[in-house]
Structure 1
């Protein structure tokens, strides 16, 4: 069974912290493959997506062959987590997509300001 793929910015401190938070809390180990969206494999996956989804500098989740981006990808990560995190999914999903993406855009804009860039991409270590 192929793993679902989570593509994030490998040079982002917030993305690294989120991956470090998510990885030990996964419901099933190795259910997600973490990739940097600037890696060769990440670029190849993104290039195969429809042009409307080829957004620079965002998070992607490829789940069962379907791609989710921005807040939809971030919130869907809850599905992979243990039950006490998983119950937050319907609460987060009920918010309207435009509002979720506005909040996502604000966080994305200031993430480098508040989170130090990692010395290296940690994603290969998590797979």
Structure 2
């Protein structure tokens, strides 16, 4: 794993979140990102380390990069930027919008994600090939 890798914390039972993680893995040719479910011991430890709340039902993806933790739209746009290419351009365009507006849209989707996309009974497990990218 490269020393510059970033960590994505995600809701391990959310179908939308799991789909996003799979999207990132597919488009992360440099294997820059590592992953942990927010519900996992590693995810909980990182939340404590960065003094982020650990709600019973996660409400945001978290990006840990360069010694900082980013949540909500800042995390999502940071992840897209880290993918490079057209995704980085899309992230730059997204940052044109004020953060309160971006976060309001993010929270609306997060609040309804289980109803709109469903949820699993247990966290998604990576394939043996991908296991090294998960904490």
Rounded to whole Å, the distance in 2 between the matches of 1:6 and 1:82 is 16
1:41 equivalent to 2:39? Answer no
What is the number of equivalent residue pairs in this alignment? 124
* Bigger relative CO (Cα 8 Å, ≥ 6 apart): 1
1:13 equivalent to 2:12? Answer no
Q: 4+ residue runs of structure 1 moved beyond 6 angstroms?
A: none
Rounded to whole Å, the distance in 1 between the matches of 2:54 and 2:122 is 23
Query: Are residues 2 and 81 of structure 1, via their aligned partners in 2, closer, same or farther at CA, if it must alter by over 3 Å?
Result: closer
TM-score (norm 1): 0.88
TM-score (norm 2): 0.83
Secondary structure of 1:6's match?
Answer: strand
1:86 equivalent to 2:88? Answer yes
Rounded to whole Å, the distance in 1 between the matches of 2:54 and 2:44 is 12
Structure 1, unmatched stretches of 5+, are none
Structure 2, unmatched stretches of 5+, are none
